[in-house]
Amino acid sequence: MPEALNLADDRRPEQRRAALALLEILERETPFPGAPRVGLTGAPGAGKSTLLDALVRTLRPRGETLAIVAVDPSSQRSGGALLGDRARVRSGADDEGVFLRSMAARDQLGGLAEATRAGVAILAAAFDRVFVETVGVGQSEVEVASLVDTLVYVASPGAGDLLQFMKAGVLEVPDLFAVNKADLGPAAERTAGELAGGLGLGERSDAGWTPPVLLVSARDGVGIEPVAKALGDHFQHLSAGGGLAARRRRGVETWLLRALETRYGSYGIEQLGGETAVRARLDEDGSAFAALARLADEIEETLGKPR
Amino acid sequence: MSERDRPWVFRTYSGHTSARASNALYRKNLAQGQTGLSVAFDLPTQTGVDSDHPLARGEVGKVGVPVGHIEDMELLFEQLPLDRMNTSMTINATAAWLLALYIATAERQDVDPHNLQGTTQNDIIKEYLSRGTYVFPPQPSMLLTGDMVAYTVEHVPKWNPINVCSYHLQEAGATPVQEIAYAMATAIAVLDGARTREDLPADALPRVVGRISFFLNSGIRFVEELCKGRAMAELWDEITRERYGVQDEKLRRFRYGVQVNSLGLTEAQPENNVIRIALEALGVTFSKKARCRALQLPAWNEALGLPRPWDQQWSLRIQQILAYETDLLEHEDLFDGSHVVEARTRELVDEARAELDEVLAQGGAVAAVENAYMKRRLVESQTARARAIEEGEHVVVGVNRFTEGEPSPLLEGARSVLRVDESAEREQIERLEAFRGRRNDADVTAALQGLKDALANGNNVMPPSIRAAHVGVTTGEWADALRALFGEYRAPTGVVAHAASGAGERTLALRERVHALTGRLGRPLKLLVGKPGLDGHSNGAEQIAVKARDAGMEVVYEGIRLTPQEIVQSARDEGVHVIGLSILSGSHGVLVVDVLEGLRQAGLAELPVVVGGIIPEEDADTLRAAGVRRVYTPKDFDLTHIVGEIVDVVAESAAVH
């Protein structure tokens, strides 16, 4: 398992070919819907890791195998990253049913590395559920949303009023809100109230699902059960209504466009005929990763042609 | 000239191997002229695990004495009548338990606890910030501290239930201002908590305030340290008067003990440390107004390993010469009226007050631990200090200047440190098992249930703990009962949030090498940094992690208190190229080998491992023979160089494959 992830991260030509082949097979063989992919985002210090730790301890005894991808930002200057330093998921080192991989975002704009999507695809093929935890700065909210089936936003009480949430554009995207530090009482309840109220105001892309706003105390292990249930409910909702396939497809399209744009700018997209054309290319044979490789090659060719 | 003052209490921080061995050491030191005891406990005792627990492996009896139950405590104080002792116990997360054992021992010696004198360190805040032997989360820990304060003020009135520590903050890199501010914030957290307790009547508060004592550091900048002591005395007087309304001047006095700086003691030219220690002792004795009540001096060879009795004796002589041969104690304060000292003191008071206000604005010391504010500030200061030493701005004689010279005769020949016999662990475990066999199981079960019930009902932890001590409950059992109720805590490392420091030329060159190697490897260089075992001194590991990140590596910083199995699993799952282990507790012989063995079993025998810590040269040779690629000790202060070698090690491995 770790070797597969290492391979997916490897940029040398031979390894990239092998990785693409692997991803091809996985895309073909992995049953649908397969493992639910859950994203956790929220401001630093909100308690994402602690909540994740509590969720793992709730889900593990039910026999679920879990994979966690923990993303931390890369240093703009050095390219390095400090990963780890999380509430270590305590099911013991002997528990092979929990897998934790730390990844650096590597992206200048605060988004996710390309390797993250490949990592999630690989892990989803081997584990019952995959969690992706990000820091919640820069672009990562939107990025993570395109990578997962359910996005959980972890909020800290008093971290700002409804207006702040609306300004940050936080309300439209997440599927579930967990207001942490419920042990703070009124402050937490107020934040939960504001979020619930604000959600009533806007329009959401999925009209059939109203994001629950749940109060939890990750530290004290309170309110975790309802969160686990809500995760299950949302996945049920997506699988039953047929929204899951469309959502995942949209996510892949977003990812593909962004990956090409990061590398080649809007010029690159134009060379391929524009966004709609690019989206359609995903219908061709092969995995999304193969599509990225193919399209990148095409752009490179046009760049190399004399004018 | 006034009559000669009585000198401060002379202590030496000691304990190792077993209760019996430590008892012999204490009796010897007292015979040498030491006037107070200072008990060092081993890491399992400090973190509430029994000697036969998996995490205790390699740690039993290494950095202090193992005390697993009442018989160990009785043995530790055999022939030492507790009503005549002044005992300082460096114990924090499990302080209530060790005090319970001490009181139970006194009762067995027919000594009235009202006559007991001494201190339990009991400062959990600094554990989260630097020392790492916390167990429970901040809030229940502060509750336990409050229980001890409330209990002792009535039942053990001559006891100092807490020593608010700034010592460890300096060891973690704190500036004088940070030392003052964060210590005061901790004291305030304790007193604010005490004030709200139902079992403490309002008229007891001044007495409680009067029993708050401090434990300071004394660094090599001894003039500033002297001013720091005076500043703290002033600030404490202000706080006790204004915040807590204490009228009695005696109860507002700033009382403190000291251990002088150990972080600055060098491995290179270790004989120089004697001078450092003597000058640092001056910093806390020179000014009568800010003179310590008790002084502990480390030995000259602290950076090499455990001191032998002779090494401790040499440090004790420093105190005795200072107190008895000089005329220091014959005078009133030497610095009143000194415009230099008074100006610097004023500056420190003002800056410290501002930083204290900052911590209080965040909700106080506990909040500033949970949100990692104080830890981050300390990591910043430590990073700045490390860089200053690396670049030669901050001179350390024998390390970055005046490094050439005659080899030290003190290091020749026979072992220059104390070795803890590896069989000590096995013997301790055997004694523990035998002890368990002798107890009345029904009594033990009842006592543990009584403890849990008392805590669940919000009662004071001391009485049920003393009962538990008498019937033979063990340290691990006591701590587990509390863990079941409070949970176990992982403190923030303060490292992740730290911004990249400005990179010098060498770091930039290092980045180039890392990027080039990344190209060859196919993906960025990934390093795992972790601390196996119970040692909580994380500064070194944190500094390496930050430096490696600045050099462009992806660093998985795992933190403290990991088992070798956890490290191996992480290394495998994270797909790292190299592992860096940090161990300062002397358990490296056992734990590093366990990691190497675990890697072999996981099919990762080729994964390179480097080790840092307090590791004597012979042990370093053994580790290298076992497959460790590099060994770093306190003499390796150049972090850029170390990280450069880590890159080399990965390059070497890559070349082989």
- Taking contacts as CB-CB distances below 8 angstroms, the residues of chain B near A85 are 492-493, 495-496, 557-559
From A82, A56, A54, select the one nearest A68 (Cα to Cα): A56
Alpha helices (H) along B371-521: 373-390, 423-438, 441-456, 462-471, 475-486, 505-521
Residue A101: list chain B partners with CB under 8 A: 573-575
| % of chain A exceeding 70 in pLDDT | 86
Residue B190: left (phi > 0), alpha (psi -120 to 50), or beta? alpha
- The question of whether B13 is a catalytic residue gets the answer yes
Boundary (domain end) residue, out of A241, A268, A286: A241
Lowest mean pLDDT among B91-95, B342-346, B650-654: B650-654
Chain B's closest residue to A46, CA to CA, is: B371
- In angstroms, what CA-CA distances link A263 with A108, A292, A295, B407, B419? 12, 11, 11, 59, 59
Torsion of CA A277, A282, A286, A291, to 10 degrees: 60
Contacts of B556 in chain A (CB under 8 A): 83-84, 102
Q: Which two tokens stand for residue A5?
A: 């992830």
What local confidence, expressed as pLDDT, does residue B306 receive?
Answer: 77
Is B313 a domain residue? yes
B111 and B235 share a domain?
Answer: yes
Whether B648 is in a domain gets the answer: yes
CATH number, position B556? 3.40.50.280
Q: What is the pLDDT of residue B1?
A: 47
Is residue A81 less than 8 Å (CB to CB) from chain B? yes
Number of domains in chain B: 2
Distances from the Cα of B58 to the Cα of B41, B43, B65, B451, B540, angstroms: 15, 10, 14, 30, 20
Provide the pLDDT for residue A108: 56
Q: Final residue of a domain: which of A196, A220, A241? A: A241
Span A220-238, average pLDDT: 92
Whether residue B427 lies inside any domain: the answer is no
CA distance B575 to chain A (A): 6
CA distance A297 to chain B (A): 19
- Would you state the pLDDT for residue B415? 66
Cross-chain residue pair B552–A102, CB shorter than 8 Å: no
Task: Please indicate, yes or no, whether residues A16 and A48 belong to a single structural domain of this protein.
Answer: yes
| Residue A67 contacts residue A130 (beta carbons within 8 Å) | yes
Closest Cα of chain B to A275: distance in Å? 30
User: In this structure, are A146 and A293 located in the same domain?
Assistant: no
Q: CA-CA distances (angstroms) from residue A9 to A19, A29, A244, B602, B606?
A: 8, 21, 27, 22, 20
Q: Is A204 found in the same domain as A149?
A: yes
Give the 3-state secondary structure of B221-232: CHHHHHHHHHHH
Do B388 and B516 belong to one domain?
Answer: no
Same domain, A226 and A257: no
How far apart are the C-alpha atoms of A278 and A254, rounded to whole Å? Answer: 10
Q: Which residues of A touch B550 (CB under 8 A)?
A: 75, 78, 80
The reply to whether B544 touches chain A by the CB within 8 Å rule is: no
Asked if A203 and A258 sit in the same domain, the reply is no
Enumerate residues 500 to 519 of chain B having a beta carbon within 8 A of any beta carbon in chain A: 500, 503, 511, 514-515
Is the CB of residue A241 less than 8 Å away from at least one CB of chain B? no
- The verdict on B129 and B255 lying in the same domain is yes
The range of the structural domain enclosing residue A255 comes to 249-304
Q: Give the mean model confidence (pLDDT) for residues B616-628.
A: 91
Contacts of residue A136 in chain B, CB cutoff 8 Å? none
Which chain A residues touch B492 with a CB distance below 8 Å? 85
Same domain? A279 vs A221: no
Given a cut of 80, is residue B83 above it in pLDDT? yes
Q: How far A290 CA sits from the closest chain B CA (Å)? A: 19
Q: Is B147 left (phi over 0), alpha (psi -120 to 50) or beta?
A: alpha
Residues A221, A285 within the same domain: no
Per-residue pLDDT band at B336 (split at 50, 70, 90): very high
Coil, strand or helix at A215: strand
Mutate to test the interface with A, among B493, B512, B523 (most CBs of A within 10 A): B523
Q: State pLDDT tens for residues A10-19.
A: 888 888 889 8
Residue with tokens 């010279």: B405
The residue from B53, B531, B547, B588 that is catalytic is B531
pLDDT at B549 over 60: yes
Q: Between A67 and B617, whose confidence is greater?
A: A67
Q: Which of B346, B375, B401 is the last residue of a domain?
A: B401
Domain boundary among B369, B401, B433: B401
B-proximal residues of A, 90-119, CB under 8 Å? 93-94, 99-102, 104, 106, 115
Kind of pairing between the strands at B609-613 and A129-133: unpaired
How high is the mean pLDDT of chain A?
83
Number of domain units in chain A? 2
What span, in angstroms and rounded, lies between the C-alpha atoms of A175 and A208? 11
By C-alpha distance, the chain A residue nearest B550 is A78
Sign of CA dihedral B299, B301, B306, B312: negative
For the full predicted model, state whether its pTM sits above 0.90: no
User: Which of B338, B373, B401 is the last residue in one of the domains?
Assistant: B401
Residues of A in contact with B575 (CB under 8 A): 2-3, 5-6, 9, 101
CB proximity B454 to A under 8 Å: no
Nearest to A83 among B521, B555, B565 (CB): B555
- Distance from the Cα of B221 to chain A's closest Cα (Å) equals 34
Backbone angle region of B314, left / alpha / beta, with phi > 0 → left and psi within -120 to 50 → alpha: alpha
Are residues A119 and A179 part of one domain?
yes
Please name the residue of chain A whose CA is at the shortest distance from the CA of residue B370. Answer: A45
Say how far apart CA B486 and CA B138 lie, in whole Å.
10
Worst-scoring range by mean pLDDT, A225-234, B118-127, B409-418, B449-458? B409-418
Q: In the prediction, which pLDDT does A48 show?
A: 87
In this prediction, residues A229-242 reach a mean pLDDT of 90
Q: For residue A171, what pLDDT is reported?
A: 76
Cα maximum dimension of chain A = 67
Q: How far is CA A253 from CA A283, A288, B237, in A?
A: 11, 9, 67
Residue B548 has a CB neighbour count (10 Å cut-off) of 30
**Is omega for the bond preceding A2 within 30 degrees of 0, making it cis?**
no
Of A241, A275, A292, the one marking the end of a domain is: A241
Structural domain contains residue B617: yes
Q: Which residue has the higher pLDDT, B175 or A158?
A: B175
Give how far Cα A205 sits from Cα of A33, A38, A211, A241, Å: 21, 18, 12, 14
Question: CB neighbours of B201 closer than 8 A, spacing ≥ 6?
Answer: none
- Does the beta carbon of A219 lie under 8 angstroms from any beta carbon of chain B? yes
CA distance B487 to chain A (A): 9
Q: Do B559 and A84 touch (CB under 8 A)?
A: yes
The mean per-residue pLDDT over the stretch B577-584 comes to 94
A and B: number of Cβ contacts within 8 A? 108
Indicate if A24 and A131 belong to the same structural domain. yes
What share of chain B in percent tops pLDDT 90? 71
Nearest to B511 among A78, A84, A115 (CB): A78
Q: Kindly report, residue by residue over B252-308, the tens digit of the pLDDT.
A: 999 999 999 998 999 889 999 999 999 999 999 999 988 999 999 999 988 877 788
CATH number (domain holding residue B95): 3.20.20.240
Q: How does DSSP assign B213-259, residue by residue?
A: EEEEEE-S-HHHHHHHHHHHHHHHHHHHHHTT----GGGG---EEEE
Q: Give yes or no for a contact between B614 and B305, defined as CB atoms under 8 angstroms apart.
A: yes
Residue B486 lies in a domain: no
| b (16+ CB within 10 A) / e for A232-248 | ebbbebbeeeebbeebb
Q: What share of chain B is helix, strand, coil (3-state, %, to 5)?
A: 55, 10, 35
Q: Are B178 and B308 found together in one domain?
A: yes
- B373 assigned to active site: no
A189 and A276 both lie in a single domain: no
Cβ contact B637:B400 at 8 Å: yes
Whether residue A70 is found in the same domain as residue A175: yes
**Phi and psi based region of residue B349 (left: phi greater than 0; alpha: psi -120 to 50; beta: remaining):** alpha
- What is the C-alpha to C-alpha distance for residues A13 and A19, in angstroms, rounded to an integer? 10
Looking up residue A101, the CATH number of its domain turns out to be 3.40.50.300
pLDDT digit string, tens, across residues B201-221: 888 999 999 999 999 999 999
Residues of A in contact with B548 (CB under 8 A): 80
pLDDT band at B587 (very low <50, low <70, confident <90, very high): confident
Q: Flag whether pLDDT at B497 surpasses 50.
A: no
User: How far apart are the CA of B259 and the nearest CA of chain A, in angstroms?
Assistant: 31
B155 among known catalytic residues = no
Residue ranges making up the domain that contains B557: 505-656
Please indicate whether residue B339 is annotated as part of the active site. Answer: no
B408 reaches A (C-beta below 8 A): no
Whether B354 and B236 map to the same domain: the answer is yes
Asked if residue B359 belongs to a domain, the reply is yes
**Residue A125 shares a structural domain with residue A274:** no
Look up residue B291 and give its two tokens: 């003179």
Which residues in chain A touch residue B573, judged by CB atoms under 8 angstroms apart? Answer: 1-2, 99-101
Q: How far apart are CA B434 and CA B472, in angstroms?
A: 12
| SS3 at position A40 | strand
Binary contact (A77, B503; C-beta < 8 A): yes
Evaluate whether residue B458 is within a structural domain: no
Contact B91, B65 (CB under 8 A): no
Is residue B487 included in any domain, yes or no?
no
Percent helix, strand, coil in chain A (nearest 5)? 50, 15, 35
Average pLDDT over residues B434-460: 95
Task: Kindly write down the DSSP assignment for every residue of B305-365, as one continuous string.
Answer: SBPPHHHHHHHHHHHHIIIIISSGGGSS-S-TT-HHHHHHHHHHHHHHHHHHHHHHHTTSH
